[in-house]
């Protein structure tokens, strides 16, 4: 088995898709039908963390619309712009009080040096994740998504992702949405490419719901 790299590339994504298909019949069927999944990569940094906060408990379409509106009004998605807007100002653009507080607090941590995102990217998984989890508004799912999409780490399973829970329930013919511990147990078989398995299952989820 090829050793997983620190970050996925399109080449290793393609390789890992084939590796997973050779080990799991359900993933093989998805690969045969849809091919290698999209990378769905995001640029590491403050703007992506804001977008992830906005995506919590709402649809991706709604979050994308809100993010674009906020970015346009601020003149750019930077820590300085978000901090200057204040919590009250952010709420005027459509953010809830909670999310406005989270985004403003994140901006202040970046500006005063309490959170160094370049250092987070260089750190090992445990230290880097701990630094992000210390930020109010960034829970396990948010950090997993940042680790998976922005830093493109190969072996992350974003527990708490509703779409993945639905797909696991359907493919495994479960009677209930799998709990966090059940998801982790089911995903363990796909290590060291759990991030790739998640991408394959997201692709299946989107394809199954295409009009």
CATH number at residue 146: 1.10.340.30
Q: What is the pLDDT of residue 209?
A: 83
Q: What is the pLDDT of residue 98?
A: 96
Percent of the chain with pLDDT over 70: 99
Please report which confidence band the pLDDT of residue 2 belongs to, taking 50, 70 and 90 as the band edges.
low
From 101, 135, 150, give the residue that closes a domain.
Answer: 150
Q: What is the pLDDT of residue 15?
A: 96
194 with 104, same domain: the answer is no
Please report which confidence band the pLDDT of residue 1 belongs to, taking 50, 70 and 90 as the band edges.
low
Longest dimension (CA), the chain: 53
Structural domains in the chain (count) = 2
DSSP designation for 159: T
Mean pLDDT of 188-203: 97
Please report which confidence band the pLDDT of residue 210 belongs to, taking 50, 70 and 90 as the band edges.
confident
In tens, the pLDDT along 23-52 reads 999 999 999 999 999 999 999 999 999 999
71 with 126, same domain: the answer is yes
Contacts of 80 (CB under 8 A, 6+ apart): 107, 111
Please report which confidence band the pLDDT of residue 60 belongs to, taking 50, 70 and 90 as the band edges.
confident
Determine, yes or no, domain membership for 1: no
Whole-number average pLDDT of the chain: 94
Question: Would you put residue 25 in left (φ > 0), alpha (ψ -120 to 50) or beta?
Answer: alpha
78 with 102, same domain: the answer is yes
35 with 54, same domain: the answer is no
In tens, the pLDDT along 140-152 reads 999 999 999 999 9
| pLDDT over threshold 90, residue 6 | no
182 with 162, same domain: the answer is yes
DSSP designation for 2: P
> By residue range, what is the domain housing residue 28?
10-40+155-208
59 with 117, same domain: the answer is yes
- 143-162 burial, b at 16+ Cβ within 10 Å, e below that, comes to bbbbbbbbbbbbbbbbbbbe
CB-count exposure of residue 93 (10 Å: 0-12, 13-18, 19+): middle
Q: How far is CA 39 from the centre of its chain?
A: 12
């Amino acid at each position: 088995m090829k050793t997983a790299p620190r970050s996925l590339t399109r080449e290793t994504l393609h390789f890992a898709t084939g590796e997973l298909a050779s080990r799991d019949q359900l993933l093989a069927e998805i690969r045969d039908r849809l091919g290698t999944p999209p990378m769905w990569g995001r640029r590491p940094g403050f703007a992506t963390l804001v977008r992830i906060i906005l995506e919590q408990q709402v649809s991706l379409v709604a979050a994308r619309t809100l993010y674009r509106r906020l970015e346009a009004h601020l003149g750019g998605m930077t820590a300085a712009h978000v901090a200057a807007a204040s919590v009250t100002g952010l709420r005027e653009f459509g953010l809830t009080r909670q999310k406005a507080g989270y985004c403003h607090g994140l901006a202040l941590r970046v500006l005063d040096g309490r959170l160094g995102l370049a250092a987070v990217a260089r750190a090992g998984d445990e230290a880097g994740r701990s630094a992000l989890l210390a930020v109010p508004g960034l829970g396990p799912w948010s950090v997993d998504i940042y680790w998976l999409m922005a830093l493109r780490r190969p072996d992350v399973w974003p527990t708490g992702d509703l779409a993945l829970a639905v797909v696991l329930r359907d493919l495994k013919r479960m009677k209930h949405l799998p709990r966090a511990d059940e998801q982790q147990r089911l995903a363990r078989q796909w290590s060291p490419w759990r991030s790739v398995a998640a991408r394959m299952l997201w692709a299946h989820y989107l394809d199954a719901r295409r009009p």
